[in-house]
């Protein structure tokens, strides 16, 4: 599936426009003008400017100095930290995104079995998803405390002595993955709505044909949900790769840079060391990395994402 | 025949019980961090570092809350946060719905192409544009004011534009046309017909906007410096830097910072969940 096709599927665009009216066109441009101004001032121009800046050395105070590709050379081969940061950010995302999807789907499927108290369970599971930022980061820092924290206290109930989590080079990334699993309810609500929209006659027909539970899940439920899962995957990549607040508050990148996520490093270069040129190069490499990941996912979609032929119903 | 019916229903009952047990266990796991937070916030500091830790405080110290909240001017941070959140929310709801109307209910050349551009910017990590944006606001002498946090919200947010557009598209076109025939202007249709018919999605956008700006840390961190301009997120970070291991105070303040969101969630739960469903599943 191509990007344009995806956009079409997601947006329900269709080419039925015939005969534009002049008054309507003028009003339309007037109404979209705030977005156009914002796009030019806060997106298009800054993108070009940051690309240009990435070829300069600039500390804001003195005039920028042209350095050619030096920032990129430094980024890829001199300074070891950017690629390290990118690596752990990707590793974290590779663990966090699939786990959130699997648990979100599993809970949604449990909730979709005609149980009583559906709305109570849904409220409980969804509640952490509305919370984020500094307060949540501080809470989890306390939960992961090795001696007095909740997690290791709970593990001791089962006779397990937990690791130092945020103080451990090995366990710090799993700790972040666990923390992000707390907000699994955000995706769960979406899957639940998707499940409820699958026509029940599909399952009835499958049951008559003798399909067992696994076959129904893998032949009906997952294919029918695949566009939803795909959308969650795409937004998940963009959102998860941008992890910042948690590491800034909980570990400041430590121990020994083992939770130095990419944006933390970018932030330090730009707003603590004021290396605006270098930070712009970092930003562009990050953008291209996310773009590549997204394009790979789009390329994979035609093998597993199932779109019904008629999806333009909302026009 | 009858024995098969009985065994089947037994199996169904058994599987129901397993489902409830799993959901119940999951609920406990989900709620435990919040219970832990409340319990820690009420303990005296000496009990916080007791081994093994107490799940429920044996001695309840309510004064932790006023004590912690008066260490820093949290009332000022609260006021700053409310100002920023209100103006961002207003901008995002008003401007995004105006833009979305043009993208959905009006017919004009270039509409679809521009909408694809808007969708593409949704996928852009905002950090790519951050450094030039910082420099623009610096040239405008707006660093360390609320303007860099509020102004971008008044240019329309592509994500909300997308949400609103999808919803507006579901309205019937005949209604618009009837109103126009009755002498209503195009803008009048937007104001008197489309908006009143779109309350659920407008509520969802308002809630998302509130939630995002209430929790936001990255942009205030970059644009605000003076303590008197701090938001709650920045104030909490500052508090953590000063009282790093006083977990009872830290939990008390963190809980108070979360509380408005939790309250709004319980009152507007339907809109929260409906809103999330709009985003992910259209």
Residue B131: which of A12, A185, A279 has the nearest Cβ? Answer: A279
Per the prediction, chain B carries an average pLDDT of 90
Q: Distance (Å, rounded) from C-alpha A153 to C-alpha A216? A: 40
Instruction: Return the SS3 of A27.
Output: helix
What's the confidence (pLDDT) of residue B229?
96
* Chain A residues within 8 A of B103 when measuring between CB atoms: 32
Closest by CA position to B56, among listed B34, B44, B38 = B38
Give the E-state strand segments of chain A in sequence order: 56-57, 65-66
Asked whether the beta carbons of residue B33 and residue A139 sit closer than 8 angstroms, the reply is yes
Closest Cα in chain A to B117: A39
A17 vs B115: CA distance, rounded Å: 14
Residue A7 and residue B116: Cβ atoms within 8 Å?
Answer: yes
Nearest CB neighbour to B119, from listed A7, A31, A140? A7
Chain B partners within 8 Å of A115 (Cβ): 16, 19-20, 23
CA distance A51 to chain B (A): 9
Q: Which residue, A213, A251, A241, is CA-closest to A96?
A: A241
Dihedral over Cα of B210, B216, B219, B225: its sign: positive
Range name among A50-64, A252-266, A301-315 with the lowest pLDDT average: A301-315
CB B97 within 8 A of CB A14: no
Whole-prediction pTM: 0.90
Q: In this predicted complex, what is the ipTM? A: 0.90
Segment A239-242 long-range contacts (CB within 8 Å, at least 24 positions apart) = A240/A92, A240/A93, A240/A96, A240/A97, A240/A180, A241/A89, A241/A90, A241/A93, A241/A286, A241/A289, A241/A290, A241/A293, A241/B125, A242/B125, A242/B127
- Return the structure tokens found at A115: 């149980």
Confidence band, pLDDT 50/70/90 cuts, at residue A34: very high
pLDDT at residue B273, rounded to an integer: 81
Sequence-ordered list of residues with C-beta below 8 angstroms from that of A228, at least 6 positions apart, any chain: A190, A191, A194, B280, B281
DSSP states along B212-266: HHHH--HHHHHH--SGGG--HHHHHHHHHHHSTT-HHHHHHHHHHHHHHHHHHHH
- Sign, Cα dihedral of A216, A221, A226, A231: negative
Is A10 an interface residue toward B (CB < 8 Å)? yes
C-alpha–C-alpha distance, residues B194 and B173, integer Å: 11
Do the Cβ atoms of B124 and A122 come within 8 Å?
A: no
Q: B215 to chain A: which residues are within 8 Å by CB? A: 131-133
Q: In whole angstroms, what is the distance from residue A261 CA to residue A259 CA?
A: 6
> In percent, how much of chain B has pLDDT > 90?
60
Q: Is A196 on the interface with B (CB under 8 A)?
A: no
Q: What per-residue string of b and e applies to B212-242 under the rule 16 or more CB within 10 Å gives b?
A: bbbbbbbbbbbbbeeeebbbbbbbbbebbee
Q: Which residue has the tokens 């105006």?
A: B98
Cis before residue A92, ω within 30 degrees of 0? no
User: In the structure, what pLDDT confidence band is assigned to residue A2 with cuts at 50, 70 and 90?
Assistant: low
Residues of chain A positioned with their CB less than 8 A from the CB of B53: 148-150, 153
- Closest chain A residue by Cα to residue B219: A245
CA B130 – CA A107 distance, rounded (Å): 37
| Separation in Å, CA of B150 to nearest CA in chain A | 13
CA angle A295, A301, A304 (to 5 degrees): 155
Which of A7, A194, A244 is the closest to B281 by Cβ?
Answer: A194
Q: Kind and range of the H or E element at A52?
A: helix A45-53
Query: With pLDDT > 70 as the criterion, what percentage of chain B qualifies?
Result: 96
> Which is more confidently placed, B277 or B71?
B71
What's the rounded Cα separation, in Å, for the pair A262 and A157?
Answer: 36
Query: Minimal CA–CA distance to A188: which of A69, A58, A100, A314?
Result: A100
Answer whether B128 sits within 8 Å of A20, measured CB to CB: no
The answer to whether A11 contacts B162, with C-beta atoms less than 8 Å apart, is yes
Distances (CA, A) of A193 to A187, A208, A270, B62, B195: 10, 25, 42, 41, 25
Of A277-291, A292-306, B65-79, B83-97, the range with the lowest mean pLDDT is A292-306
Which residue from B minimizes the CA distance to A20?
B108
Residues of B in contact with A53 (CB under 8 A): 131-132
- Res B280: pLDDT: 61
**Cα distance from A309 to chain B (closest Cα, Å)?**
15
Q: Each residue of B189-236: pLDDT tens digit?
A: 898 889 998 988 899 899 999 999 999 999 999 999 999 999 999 999
Q: What DSSP letter does each residue of A146-183 carry, written as one string?
A: TTT-HHHHHHHHTT-----GGG-TTTHHHHHHHHHHTT
For A128, B162, B168, B269, the CA distances from B101, given in Å and listed in that order, are: 33, 10, 7, 26
Please give, rounded to a whole number of angstroms, the shortest distance from the CA of A115 to a CA of chain B: 8
From the list A127, A140, A290, the residue facing B265 with the nearest CB is A127
Could you tell me what percentage of chain B is helix, strand and coil, using 3-state DSSP and rounding each to the nearest 5? 75, 0, 25
So what's the pLDDT on residue A16? 47
Cross-chain residue pair B152–A111, CB shorter than 8 Å: no
Q: How confident is the model at residue A6 (pLDDT cuts 50, 70, 90)?
A: low
Per CB-CB distance under 8 Å, the chain A contacts of B236 are 134-135, 138
B167 with B278: CB under 8 angstroms? yes
Cβ contact, residue pair B114, A234, below 8 Å:
no
Residues from chain B that touch A34, judged by Cβ atoms under 8 A, are 95, 98-99, 154-156
Identify the residue among A5, A28, A282 best suited for mutation to test binding to B, counting B beta carbons within 10 A and taking the highest: A28
Backbone φ and ψ of A63, nearest 5°: -65, 150
What Å distances lie between residue B38 and B56, B64, B248, CA to CA? 9, 11, 9
Q: Which DSSP symbol is given to A43?
A: I
**Which has more pLDDT, B97 or A213?**
B97
């Amino acid at each position: 599936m191509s990007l344009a096709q995806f956009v079409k599927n997601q947006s329900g665009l269709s080419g039925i426009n015939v005969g534009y009216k002049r008054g309507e066109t003028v009003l339309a441009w007037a109404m979209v003008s705030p977005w156009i101004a914002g796009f030019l001032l806060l997106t298009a121009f800054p993108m070009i400017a940051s690309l240009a800046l990435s070829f300069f050395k600039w500390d804001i105070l003195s005039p920028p100095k042209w350095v050619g590709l030096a920032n990129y050379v430094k980024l890829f081969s001199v300074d070891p930290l950017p690629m390290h940061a990118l690596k752990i950010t990707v590793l974290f995302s590779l663990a966090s995104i699939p786990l959130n999807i699997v648990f979100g789907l599993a809970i949604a499927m449990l909730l979709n079995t005609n149980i009583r108290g559906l709305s109570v369970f849904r409220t409980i599971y969804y509640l952490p998803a509305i919370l984020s930022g500094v307060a949540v980061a501080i809470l989890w820092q306390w939960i992961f405390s090795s001696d007095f924290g909740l997690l290791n206290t709970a593990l001791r109930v089962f006779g397990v002595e937990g690791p130092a989590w945020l103080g451990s080079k090995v366990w710090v990334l799993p700790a972040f993955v666990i923390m992000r699993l707390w907000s699994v309810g955000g995706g769960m609500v979406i899957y639940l709505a998707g499940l409820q929209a699958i026509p029940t006659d599909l399952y009835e027909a499958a049951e008559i044909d003798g399909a067992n539970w696994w076959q129904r899940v893998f032949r009906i439920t997952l294919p029918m949900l695949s566009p939803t899962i795909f959308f969650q995957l795409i937004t998940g990549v963009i959102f998860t790769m941008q992890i910042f607040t948690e590491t800034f508050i909980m570990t400041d990148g430590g121990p020994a840079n083992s939770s130095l996520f990419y944006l933390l490093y970018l932030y330090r270069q730009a707003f603590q060391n004021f290396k605006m040129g270098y930070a712009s190069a970092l930003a562009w490499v990050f953008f291209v990395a996310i773009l590549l990941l997204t394009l790979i996912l789009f390329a994979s979609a035609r093998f597993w994402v199932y779109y019904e032929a008629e999806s333009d119903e909302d026009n | 025949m009858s024995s098969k019916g009985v065994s089947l229903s037994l199996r169904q009952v058994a599987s129901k019980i397993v489902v409830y047990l799993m959901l119940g266990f999951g609920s406990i796991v989900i709620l435990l961090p919040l219970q832990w937070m409340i319990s820690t916030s009420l303990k005296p500091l000496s009990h916080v570092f007791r081994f093994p830790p107490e799940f429920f405080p044996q001695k309840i110290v309510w004064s932790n809350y006023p004590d912690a909240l008066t260490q820093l001017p949290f009332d000022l941070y609260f006021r700053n946060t409310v100002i920023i959140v209100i103006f961002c929310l207003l901008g995002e709801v008003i401007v995004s719905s105006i833009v979305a109307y043009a993208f959905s209910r009006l017919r004009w050349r270039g509409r679809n192409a521009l909408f694809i551009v808007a969708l593409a910017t949704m996928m852009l990590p905002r950090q790519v544009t951050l450094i030039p944006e910082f420099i623009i606001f610096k040239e405008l002498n707006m660093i360390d004011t609320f303007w860099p946090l509020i102004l971008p919200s008044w240019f329309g947010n592509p994500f909300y534009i997308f949400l609103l557009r999808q919803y507006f598209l579901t309205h019937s076109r005949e209604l618009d046309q009837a109103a126009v025939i009755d002498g209503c202007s195009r803008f009048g249709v937007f104001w008197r017909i489309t908006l009143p018919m779109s309350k659920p999605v407008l509520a969802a956008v308002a809630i998302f906007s509130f939630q995002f700006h209430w929790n936001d840390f990255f942009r205030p961190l970059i644009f605000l410096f003076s303590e008197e301009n701090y938001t709650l997120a920045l104030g909490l970070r500052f508090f953590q830097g000063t009282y790093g291991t006083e977990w009872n105070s830290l939990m008390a303040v963190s809980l108070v910072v979360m509380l408005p969101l939790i309250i709004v969630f319980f009152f507007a739960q339907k809109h929260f969940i409906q809103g999330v469903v709009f985003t992910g599943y259209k």
